[in-house]
Amino acid sequence: MKLQNHLLTFANENDELFDLFADYWNHYCSDNKIGNTVKSYDKEISLDEKDAVLNKMLREAIIRRSGVAYANSDNVAEWFTHPLIRHETFAVVGALIDSVLPQTIIDSIGLYTEVRVGGFGDSFTFDIAPRDLFVVSKGGRAQRVGQNHREFRGQEAIIPENHIMTVSVYLYKVLAGQESLASLIVKALQSIETRMTLDAYNAFKAAMDATDTTANTGLQVSGYSQDELVGLAQRVGAWNKSRPVVIGTQRALQSVLPDDANYRYSLGDDYVSVGYIRIAFGYDVMVLPQVADYETEFGVALDDDRIWILSPASDKIIKLCLEGSMLSYSDNAFDNANLTQGATMQKAWGVGVATNALGGLITLS
């Protein structure tokens, strides 16, 4: 696993802990069917066994970085109240989240989002090249030059905004091995990844909903048909100079079928086994994993009535910019009457539309 420079420094050139957490996360995602990509992990050891090993290594990393030894269980109360222990515990938590977050978010929204990583205080700018070509016209034999053309590039800036999450934790139980710190990290990682996914999707949806609806030449059509999908894909591919793909939620992609009602499929066909056709009319079809909408009772966030046509190889429509590393810290040991500690994690990111690529939208009726 390739680590960012600040994480290599944090790991002191020993990324065994980060590799173990990446393996643990991939195993967790595979067991819970999270994401579309095939996860690589050690299948010889169970997830529960990895949880125990990871928590042991986490405590060892905290001890090593803090310099405060934990000799035996008799001094756990004194040990967990030490300020260096509290500091290093959540420093390790933040570093582990940072180590897998970029790849995790790419797996979720990488079809339409490019992820950039910067340092603290960084802003991000993107040069937007014109998509038009230079005019080539007929010229006279005695004509020295044609009409002069020059390319002017635009620029789009994305300024990250800080996001904050505070959770309550019994730190002494965590450090005594009675509660899993690995599980806390996974929950925090999922929470941040979900918020980033929703931010990127909402920006993507707004941009695509604003596309041209002109008949026959626009980039948005209402109602699915095979002819409309192929025609829209041709326009997107021609203008992007890159072969497009068809994307949507699994429910939306069920509609991508031939207009001819006489087609047949067997129980082993893609449409039955995975719920959609993987290649439709010469174009790859890819599913966007659905995301829970936690502001509702049991709703989902991604629209099931939209099919998008994009050219991911040309340029991603959305840019997600991550600023700096995770900032993690906790309350003092006895700040709260119930002896819990508030663990706060801050992460800054920004989302914007910065591209010259085109995309097509089919709104299902």
> Measured at the alpha carbon of residue 225, what is the angle toward residues 223 and 231, in degrees to the nearest 5?
105
Residue 6's pLDDT is 54
Q: What is the pLDDT of residue 35?
A: 66
Tokens representing 271 are 């449409």
The confidence score (pLDDT) of residue 1 equals 46
Output b/e per residue, 22-36; b: 16+ Cβ within 10 A: bbbbbbbbbeeebee
Q: What is the pLDDT of residue 331?
A: 77
Please report the beta strands in the chain, taking only residues with DSSP state E, as ranges in sequence order: 113-118, 124-128, 154-158, 161-169, 220-222, 245-248, 279-280, 283-287, 292-293, 299-300, 306-310, 318-330, 341-353, 360-363
| Domains present along the chain, CATH in parentheses | 5-128+155-203+325-350 (no CATH), 206-318+356-363 (3.30.2320)
Alpha-carbon gap, residue 145 to 135, rounded angstroms = 13
User: pLDDT in tens for each of the 365 residues of the chain?
Assistant: 455 555 555 555 456 788 888 888 888 888 877 766 667 888 888 888 888 888 888 888 887 877 777 655 556 666 667 777 777 887 888 888 888 888 788 888 888 999 998 888 888 999 988 888 888 888 888 888 888 888 888 889 999 999 998 887 776 676 666 777 788 888 888 888 889 999 999 999 999 999 888 877 889 999 999 999 999 999 999 999 999 999 999 999 998 888 877 777 777 777 788 888 888 899 999 999 888 888 888 899 999 999 999 998 888 999 999 988 888 877 776 777 777 777 888 899 999 999 999 999 999 97
pLDDT digits over 1-25, tens only?
455 555 555 555 456 788 888 888 8
Angle between helices 16-31 and 181-209 (to 10 degrees): 70
Predicted local confidence at residue 214, as pLDDT = 85
Q: Is 80 helix (H, G, I), strand (E, B) or coil?
A: helix
Positive or negative torsion for Cα 18, 23, 29, 32:
negative
Please tell me the predicted confidence (pLDDT) of residue 77.
Answer: 63
Query: Three-state DSSP class for 168?
Result: strand
